[in-house]
Amino acid sequence: MIMEPIRQHIAVPFGYNVHFTTGLFAPSNPLLASVVDPAYQMICVVDGGVADAHPRLAEQVTEYSTAHRLQLACPAMVVPGGESVKNTREYVDQLHSAIHEFGICRHSTVVAIGGGALLDMAGYAAATAHRGVRLVRVPTTVLAQNDSGVGVKNGINAFGRKNFLGVFAPPYAVINDFDFLETLDARDWRAGMAEAVKVAMIKDAAFFEFLEREAAALANREMRPMRTLIERCAEMHVQHIQNSGDAFENGSSRPLDFGHWAAHKLEQLTNYALRHGEAVAKGIALDTTYSYVAGRLEERDWERTIALMTAMGFDLTVPQPCAPVSRENPRCLLSGLNEFREHLGGPLTIMLIQRVGQAIEVHEISDELMLESIQVLNGALQDSRFISVGTRKI
């Protein structure tokens, strides 16, 4: 006999603010103190690269906490930055140990200060301690401020796979301090712009035109257009999470992962020598070229995309896949399609471009056309038509 199930539907609202400021840890800036509950303890974890670039940061955190009567449980914890912080459980365990040792509760706050990898790791640790400790993200790179740091994903790498372990857990708040961008090296400044190109291509033709107009200024590290870039990207990212109807990605649609199947695989194949944004730029260029080769995208929009990213300073070259050329060969770029499908679940769903500002989902990718697209892209990058000053071809 089959009995009627007890049916249950749970709708849990989530809300968080994405703030923009400068001088976050100046005692005169009240923002962080308005976000953190002073009745409970706070732990800060800092990206080692950020700590090196800002030698007084840990001291400033302590001074700020004293000035605003925040309960800093211990001096700021400094851990490695970059993908290495995600490639092992060591730093998750270290943060879990601190949460246990200092009696951090679910109303306490973990403040994570760093790039996207550090935020991913700290978010995973906070979300899995006590089934969820409050997390305040303080992104310090262009990519983290405009994309990864404002979303709801947290995770670390495992089994040679990007973000194999992780959770969806919204932050308590996100605070973007533009001052941290001043000390970025050229690679990290540029890398984050790839996510801006991504979101413009799939959602906003007017924003794409802004990027074309400002490409030279952005490449020259001008802060005025960079602030606009970050604010618009962050706005579109959180709007998508709020309005997509699938904030925790239970379905197969992933518009914000345009260009990412190849990017994740290229990161893995280079042992993460490629920055995430650098790999995303290559992935965007490849999938845009595939859209063009497959007859879905007009040549002019393809040319504009390649010209924009070369003007920003990206190397868009995609290496030829290792033999044997097969999705079953884990050393072959094409295997990234299988890994992407497995990681996201459901049928293979790849975002392609119909025109700048408009995307379309497909569920089949031709290996033959993808290999041709690699040749077309690499050939185009040797063509003087795509050597640009700003976005004007010369």
pLDDT in tens, 283-301: 999 999 999 999 999 999 9
Same domain for 374 and 336, yes or no, is yes
CATH code of residue 363: 1.20.1090.10
Lowest-pLDDT choice from 142-146, 253-257, 368-372 = 253-257
Confidence of residue 1 (pLDDT cuts 50, 70, 90): confident
Question: Would you say residue 3 lies in a domain?
Answer: no
Domain around 39:
17-183
Residue ending a domain, among 138, 156, 183, is 183
Same domain for 77 and 147, yes or no, is yes
3 state SS for 52-105: HHCCCHHHHHHHHHHHCCCEECCCCEEECCCHHHHCCCHHHHHHHHHHHHCCCC
Q: What is the pLDDT of residue 274?
A: 95
Tokens for 321, please give them. 């896949």
Same domain for 24 and 125, yes or no, is yes
Identify whether the C-beta of residue 40 lies closer than 8 Å to the C-beta of residue 107: yes
How does pLDDT run across 154-194, given as a tens digit for each residue?
999 999 888 999 999 999 999 999 999 999 999 999 999 99
Given a cut of 60, whether residue 5 has pLDDT beyond it is: yes
Q: Over the chain, what is the mean pLDDT?
A: 94
Question: Would you say residue 286 lies in a domain?
Answer: yes
CATH code of residue 79: 3.40.50.1970
Q: What is the pLDDT of residue 343?
A: 83
How many structural domains are present in the chain?
2
Same domain for 330 and 202, yes or no, is yes
33: burial class by Cβ within 10 Å (0-12, 13-18, 19+)? middle
Q: What is the pLDDT of residue 387?
A: 59
Residue ending a domain, among 151, 183, 215, is 183
